[in-house]
Structure 1
């Protein structure tokens, strides 16, 4: 289990049913963050059974930190990372969510080289 070491922040209610335009979760911005973090961590790496868990934890923390810097205050940010070995198999990563289509969103990006693959997914769930 990852200990993020952050005290729980409280959010004061604004009584708005949807975010302001500049406070929305924009998938394109988040997708760029996912891509940059995963490339920086895994480019040129070979799959390692001893290190893949540490890589995934580091990627999740870094993506979450950078996404929070986008100033989207009324969103819960959930980050998922899957790292696996490439052995000629097919893999599909899927998620199901119950959400508000008008305000909730997600971004994902997949990296692959000759020995490993990594999929990063970030969910932005609006809450008030």
Structure 2
């Protein structure tokens, strides 16, 4: 079964490990977000979520005093499908990353 709390911990650990000492360079962020998404997805499959079809998304942006809102709509079975997310904030150099995972179970 998909455990949102353990998935959130996994996302948090990866974002913290991979982003702790990264400088925000806008030109490098597209490749970094792709790499982080793949890392999160691979780690979750290693943890036994191979029965789930997962969509993993990472968004990175600068903190310039504005807010950011994110929304998603999904069509799923509330008994087996779920999601998890975590936010990494680098306050010293003013940028953030949001990692999200939506999982749909292919249980037969």
* The two structures share one fold, judged by TM-score above 0.5: yes
1:44-59 to 2 correspondences below 5 Å: 44-59=21-36
* Residues 1:42 and 2:27 aligned together: no
* Residues 1:113 and 2:90 aligned together: yes
Cα displacement (A) at 1:74: 2.1
Decide which structure has greater strand share: 2
- Counterpart CA distance in 1 for 2:42 and 2:15 is 14
* Residues 1:102 and 2:103 aligned together: no
Structure 1 ranges of 4+ moved more than 6 A: none
Give 5+ residue unaligned stretches, structure 1: 1-23
Alignment length (residue pairs): 105
CA-atom RMSD, angstroms? Answer: 1.2
- Computing the radius of gyration from Cα coordinates, the structure with the larger value is 1
* Residues 1:122 and 2:101 aligned together: yes
| TM-score normalized by the length of structure 1 | 0.77
1:17-72 CA-partner distances (Å, limit 9, x unpaired): xxxxxxx1111111111001111111133321111111101110100000001113
Give 5+ residue unaligned stretches, structure 2: none
